[in-house]
Amino acid sequence: MALYHVLMDNQHLHHSPMSGATWPGVAWGAHLERQLQQFKAIYLMNQEKLDYSLQVLKKQDEENTIMRSQQRRKLNRLHSLLNNLKTKLANQEKQFREENQSLAADCKRIMGQCKEAQRSMRHFAVSDAEKFTEVWLMNEEEAKGLMRKALEADRIIHAQQLGLPWEEPNYWFLHNVGPLKHYKAKRMATKLAAEVMTDKLTKSQLVSQGLQGGFQVTRE
């Protein structure tokens, strides 16, 4: 606008109202008028550019505002998620510590029970072994008595009924005291029992035949 006023003042100076004639600067005034119009056009064009740039900047500012709002909401959600994860982690760690303490206590208790069970097993094993030995000795003595009676009957049959010499067999079982210690000894005991039963059956048959023939069994 200041440029416009300068040009208008120059145009006024080149026109003389006193003489009624046109000064030589009229052409210069026309030239200035054209420049003024060009400046106006440039001004309007720049004004439009500035208005467009302003609208673009406003649009970008609105978009940036929306984006900042979205980013702020997203950041708030992430903070909330982080806090939830921290809380969950703290709860999990607390639960794991409690479970670890509980499992450690259970392990200690079970180990104590296991040791107590082992002590009880050793105690009952000793007690059962003593009872087994006691029952074994009682049954062994009874079996030895029955075997001695069978041997005595066998001796009488040989001496009185058959008139044959009799020699007492050397059965190791009669000299054994206490439970058998090895499986081999158990097999020998089983075999011995079978032999004794077979021998007793044979002697019983002989006695039966002797009684039928008129023989009598007497003790010496």
pLDDT, tens digit (0-9, with 9 covering 90-100), for 102-159: 999 999 999 999 999 998 888 888 888 889 888 998 998 898 888 889 888 888 888 8
The residue type found at 90 is A
* Whether 29 contacts 15, CB under 8 Å: yes
3-class DSSP state for residue 215? Answer: coil
Q: How many CA atoms lie within 13 A of 36 on its CB side?
A: 17
* Whether 54 contacts 62, CB under 8 Å: no
Q: pLDDT-derived band of residue 50, with 50, 70 and 90 as boundaries?
A: very high
Model confidence pLDDT, tens digit, residues 54-111? 999 999 999 999 999 999 999 999 999 999 999 999 999 999 999 999 999 999 999 9
**pLDDT > 70: what percent of the chain?**
70
Model-wide pTM > 0.85: no
Q: pLDDT-derived band of residue 199, with 50, 70 and 90 as boundaries?
A: low
| Confidence (pLDDT) at 23 | 47
Checking if the pLDDT of 2 tops 50, the result is no
